[in-house]
Chains A and B, each alone.
Chain A
Amino acid sequence: MVFDALPQGKLCICTKKIILRQKPTSYTDFVMRNEETEQAADLFLTLWQENIRLWAQERDLLPHSELADLLRADIPGHKRQGDASERS
């Protein structure tokens, strides 16, 4: 697996959780614990910001207006506002 965008510490936690969740034994194992959820959210936000940094680097420059465009993600057919059914 390539996790070059992730800090190694968070990567280890994330990977370990995935392994632990391979063999669920009860309903509670299917529902993430609070601690896991918080860590997943923290990781998501880190990736969210890293994503913007990477685009700025790739495009050489990401002025405020282009940042706003990127975050709006007004790509035809790709609404950013959505619900669970839109997840891939």
Chain B
Amino acid sequence: MGLHLSNSLMIWNQSVTGAKQYRVDDQFWHPRVRESLNILGSLMKTEEDWQAFHHAVERQASDRADKMLAGIAKYLAHPYRRPESMAVEAARLGNCRLYDFGGEGKPILMTPSLINPHYVLDLKPGRSLAIFLKERGYRPFLVHWFDPGDEEFGFGISDFVMKRLVPFLDHVVRVAGGPVPVLGYCMGGTLTTALAARAQKQISRLALVAAPWDFDTEKPHAGKKYAPVMAEALAKLPPGMPLPVDAVQTFFTSVDPTLNDRKFRKFADMNPATEAAEFFVALETWANTGAPLPRQVADEVMLGWYRDNQPGRGKWLVDGKPVRLSDVKCPVWIAAPEEDRLVPQESAYAMLQGLPDAIAHDPGAGHVGMMVGSKARSGLWEPLLKWLEE
């Protein structure tokens, strides 16, 4: 939150100086806005026009900053709290839990990322993939990673796969009496790919949603640029110290430093009693929640994945052996939107090259929007259900 504030206030403070200078040929301006600026500048015919314009910019910049702060205050004061989930704890290993949504449906294991909370797959009524599947004949089992305990703080990614996902999968397979479908979201998808390679006979189908695999795509991406920054930060941390969640949040904020200002100013005008306002609060709370990343996991992800592209090069070790896509024998559905700036589509689709039986799907929304946004049902949930039923 501090970083959001700092970015927004700096942007609006500096805009006043920018207006006074108004150099359209300045390298500060992106080529895509220069023409608009030229036209806007042509409106000012006299020195009085410019002076009035400067005063208006100064006042409105201050108003925008105030409105962003008002939006944050309104968010913090909003009464919405996530309703208690209908899922019950089915198993616990260390500090990791497996939630069971119950019923007589077909069991499916759902695995979120290690970065943000598990409940993005069950955000709130009407915004829950887990409930959507339950209402259509499935019995979701959802992995809850947080918060790492003493044991998990000593884990690498391989440990999370072999000592947590494998036993959780065993549990779901026992309930089902046979192989089950598995869904992995974001980094959880990369982990379940390793799971599918190690537990081939227990997985009937694998759905990967925005799961990064090739970290050395031709198209540059934010994670690739951030990896050296994180490598430098990790080198400065005391040995074994987990990666603070703020370090990861800094990355998300840096992908678009204007996003939070725009979001909170929009929220300031929202009727707090609406579903849209509740959804905003639910999602923002989810996005701003996280747990420290165990140090070995942070090293493996930032250095092994993003810097060295170990998964894409077949060098990523889980249980002491490289994870090979050719070992994933079940049908795989790879959902990855083109507009995802956190996990480039190219990175996720790279798996199509190595998987024996895989198809691709573009959900047509962003990294998080495809899971819980207005297009989630038509873009992701229904196509997923159709594929599961094939």
Do the two chains belong together in a single complex? yes
Q: Mark B249-261, 1 if CB is under 8 A from A, else 0.
A: 0110111111101
Interface size on B, residues (CB 8 A): 66
Would you give the shortest CB distance from B44 to chain A, in whole angstroms?
7
A2 to B32, CA, bound (A): 8
Are B254 and A64 neighbours in the complex by a CB distance under 8 Å?
Answer: yes
Which of A2, A4, A56, A83 is most buried by chain B, counting CB atoms within 10 A of its CB? A56
Interface size on A, residues (CB 8 A): 61
Q: In the complex where A18-B42, A38-B60, A61-B225 touch, is A1 in contact with B35 (Cβ < 8 A)?
A: yes
Q: Mark B25-48, 1 if CB is under 8 A from A, else 0.
A: 111111011011101111111111
Chain B residues whose CB sits within 8 angstroms of the CB of A58 once the complex forms: 30
Chain A residues whose CB sits within 8 angstroms of the CB of B35 once the complex forms: 1-3
B229 at the interface (CB under 8 A from A): yes
Q: Residue on B with the closest CB to A87? A: B22
Q: Residue on A with the closest CB to B27? A: A75
Would you give the shortest CB distance from B212 to chain A, in whole angstroms?
14
A11 to B40, CA, bound (A): 10
Chain A residues whose CB sits within 8 angstroms of the CB of B22 once the complex forms: 86-88
Which A7-27 residues have C-beta < 8 A from chain B?
A: 11, 14-15, 17-18, 21, 24
A30 to B221, CA, bound (A): 48
Q: Residue on A with the closest CB to B221? A: A60
Contact of A64 among B7, B220, B262 (CB under 8 A): B7
Q: In the complex where A56-B254, A60-B222, A80-B17 touch, is A14 in contact with B57 (Cβ < 8 A)?
A: no
Chain B residues whose CB sits within 8 angstroms of the CB of A11 once the complex forms: 36
Q: Residue on B with the closest CB to A70? A: B28
Are A80 and B33 neighbours in the complex by a CB distance under 8 Å?
Answer: no
Are A3 and B21 neighbours in the complex by a CB distance under 8 Å?
Answer: no
Are B64 and A31 neighbours in the complex by a CB distance under 8 Å?
Answer: no
Which B1-25 residues have C-beta < 8 A from chain A?
A: 3, 6-7, 10-12, 14-15, 17-25
Kindly list the 8 A-B residue pairs having the minimum CB-CB distance in the complex, ordered from nearest. Answer: A41-B56, A54-B30, A71-B14, A82-B21, A63-B254, A73-B28, A61-B222, A41-B57
Q: A41-B56, A48-B18, A87-B23 known; 12 other A-B pairs, CB under 8 Å?
A: A21-B45, A42-B60, A44-B19, A45-B57, A48-B11, A52-B257, A60-B225, A60-B255, A64-B6, A67-B11, A72-B14, A79-B21
**Residues of A with Cβ closer than 8 Å to B?**
1-6, 11, 14-15, 17-18, 21, 24, 30-32, 34, 36-38, 40-45, 47-64, 67-68, 70-73, 75, 78-84, 86-88
User: 9 A-B Cβ contacts within 8 A?
Assistant: A5-B30, A32-B45, A47-B37, A50-B258, A52-B257, A58-B30, A61-B222, A68-B10, A71-B11
